[in-house]
Structure 1
Amino acid sequence: MAASMLRISPEVARQAAHWHMLMLDDGVSPAQREACTRWRAAAPEHERAWQKAERVRAQLGLLPPRLAMGTLDRERRQAMKQLLTLAIVAPLGYLGYRQLSPQPAYATVVGQHRRFTLADGTLLDLNTDTVVDVRLEERQRLITLQRGEVLVVSGPDASSTHHRPLRVASGQGLMEAMGTRFMVRQRERSTQLSVLEGAVRVSPFEGARHTIEAGQQLTFDAQGQGHRGIAREQDSLWTQGQLVVEDMPLRQFLSELGRYRSGWLRCQPEAAHLRISGTFQLGNTDAILAALPATLPVNVDYRTRYWVTVTTH
């Protein structure tokens, strides 16, 4: 069996994540570098895990090139280690495309919406093609968004004898709920946070912390760079099977619609800047496409069921 196909145990993955992050620290000592080299050479599985961590960082951008670990608090370091550990354990073919943990407990396929109630009372709505990992630990309640989009309504955690903060980890940082209802969407190289009720404290993996209030949206990268916007209640209506848009460019609309169907959905450049508004039922994306020529000067061309192009007349 090829080395890249051999299984890596969760324990070795955790060790690899530890050493990998330590080596990214500007303050790592020569003795620590030597110890890491010895660990890598101790077993073939160790070196496979190390190489997998390198590929994960390159392909998914889970970690910045240099971390300066001394500037990061314990929670952020722990969340980053958990993300990297999950990615190391995952089958290589799933990297950057499918879920990062085999057989996840909380997941949806393309076009599906599911709702879960966790043991602490927290409600999770998972949008299309979403995977989350949930760990209700002694010191915290951690939801790791591996792919897709989730709406979170923080639970009372009534069964716990002490306060356990509710946190959501993404590929770019950590978000802590402050009695709230909010959405988190994992984009290609950024995280989009929309706070609908309450507030959320945001801790990018590098960069300053700040608090996002109800009605605000923040898109940020691992260094804390990004932009703010308005969080709209209508953007959560995917929980009711609806996509609501106002004066949206057709290219962006088709990109959003494409999240809910398999295959390739695109438009010609000539049609990209046409504007569209309306409320669309996501249960039948073919019906949405069929109705486009009634409102826009376009044709919808099906090369196959999974290869659709919108063109102008």
Structure 2
Amino acid sequence: MTEPALTSLPPAVVDQAIDWSVRITYSQPDASTRQAFQHWLAAAETHRQAWARMQSLGGHFEAVPASLTRLTLQKLPEARLQRRQMLKLLSLLGAVGVTAWATQSTKPWQRLLADYTTQVGEHGHWTLADGSLLELNTDSAVRVRFDGDARVVELLRGELYLVSGKDPVASRHRPLRVLTSMGQFEALGTRFTVRLYDHACRLGVTEGAVRMQPQAGEGAVAQVGEVWDLSRNGVQRQAGMAAQAVSWTDDLLVARGMPLADVLAELSRYRAGYLGCEPGIAQRPISGNFNVRNIDATLAFLANAHGLRLHSLTRYWVRLSA
């Protein structure tokens, strides 16, 4: 027998099924909660139908890391999502396989958890509740958690620039920290940028200082003008100046003897599709300040300045050759 469509059920019942799905499937219910759920399930046929449909929509949630599932669902009530949005979310997560969830570039949970995001090619600016100024580079996402003890900006993907605020609303000092999967950065009255890579974070300090603490190993304090990499096991000073790392805030890519392939990889962050070059010129050193707001114009300038040919099958497939 075919179950009635979920949309044909009473809205209140659908809302109850969603609530029970969160409390039973994606939390750790105690005995009284499980008993209450059984009473609800047995109270009406529509309850059983709604629950069966909810389970079919969310049946592949077990493929998602449990911690990410809980964080995603915990955030939903804060956002006051409508019922159809919740169903769309469950359908999305149910349709995404394990491999996609394990791939950095296709993790939908990053945007679901985020308080501030940018799409590919976007550059966002916000003033936070403590007066801090937040900028996000292309394709980035952060989550903000301020409480009585600390101000935490969690970088979920991409790149941020943070100017620490004076926090006038707090009765006592609250440290301002940027949290990542590798470790954390604590602002010491400062301006700095943090970029998240697959296996490390890059820090550039343009004012003040930043205390770095990896998940394991010893931390350090980065001073103004310095660039550091933070991995899960430690920190390491890098060559170069912070002004170059933060140039994206002025919509620029600053290259100094950078291999052409790396320049194109950086430019590709700001546009959709394929952008590459033939292997024979991949290591050709490139220097210059390149505008990232108009990638097509930048590519034309790059090709003309270095005697290269630009091949475009479509705007989503561009290749440089000698």
Q: TM-score, normalised by structure 1?
A: 0.72
Between Structure 1 and Structure 2, the one with more helix by share is 2
- Determine whether 1:301 maps to 2:306: no
5 Å-filtered alignment, 1:1-313, equals 9=22, 52-53=64-65, 85-86=70-71, 92=93, 93=96, 95=101, 96=104, 97-99=106-108, 100-102=110-112, 104-224=114-234, 226-312=236-322
Q: Distance in 1 between matches of 2:184 and 2:159?
A: 15
Structure 1 unpaired stretches of 5+: 17-43, 55-80
- The answer to whether the 8 Å contact 2:259/2:283 transfers is yes
* Structure ranking higher on relative contact order (CA contacts 8 Å, 6+ apart): 1
Taking structure 1 as reference, are residues 12 and 240 closer, same or farther at Cα in structure 2, changes over 3 Å only? Answer: farther
Taking structure 1 as reference, are residues 111 and 167 closer, same or farther at Cα in structure 2, changes over 3 Å only? Answer: same
Taking structure 1 as reference, are residues 98 and 49 closer, same or farther at Cα in structure 2, changes over 3 Å only? Answer: closer
Decide which structure has the larger Cα Rg and report it: 2
Taking structure 1 as reference, are residues 53 and 263 closer, same or farther at Cα in structure 2, changes over 3 Å only? Answer: same
Q: Which amino acid aligns with 1:232?
A: A
Taking structure 1 as reference, are residues 288 and 152 closer, same or farther at Cα in structure 2, changes over 3 Å only? Answer: same
Q: Distance in 1 between matches of 2:72 and 2:140?
A: 15
Q: Distance in 2 between matches of 1:240 and 1:85?
A: 37
Taking structure 1 as reference, are residues 86 and 263 closer, same or farther at Cα in structure 2, changes over 3 Å only? Answer: farther
Q: Which amino acid aligns with 2:317?
A: W
Of 98-107 and 251-260, more deviation after overlay is shown by 98-107
Q: Deviations over 1:70-122 (max 9, x none)?
A: xxxxxxxxxxx7x7854787864473224524273311111111110001001
SS of alignment partner, residue 201 of structure 1: strand
- The answer to whether the 8 Å contact 1:152/1:183 transfers is yes
- The answer to whether the 8 Å contact 1:271/1:298 transfers is no
Q: Which amino acid aligns with 1:141?
A: R
Q: Distance in 2 between matches of 1:119 and 1:147?
A: 22
Q: Deviations over 1:211-233 (max 9, x none)?
A: 11111111122122555333331
Q: Distance in 2 between matches of 1:14 and 1:218?
A: 38
- The answer to whether the 8 Å contact 1:215/1:232 transfers is yes
Of 164-173 and 294-303, more deviation after overlay is shown by 294-303
Q: Distance in 2 between matches of 1:12 and 1:141?
A: 31
How many residues align? The count is 254
Taking structure 1 as reference, are residues 186 and 12 closer, same or farther at Cα in structure 2, changes over 3 Å only? Answer: farther
Alignment correspondent of 1:66: none
Alignment correspondent of 1:21: none
Alignment correspondent of 2:6: none
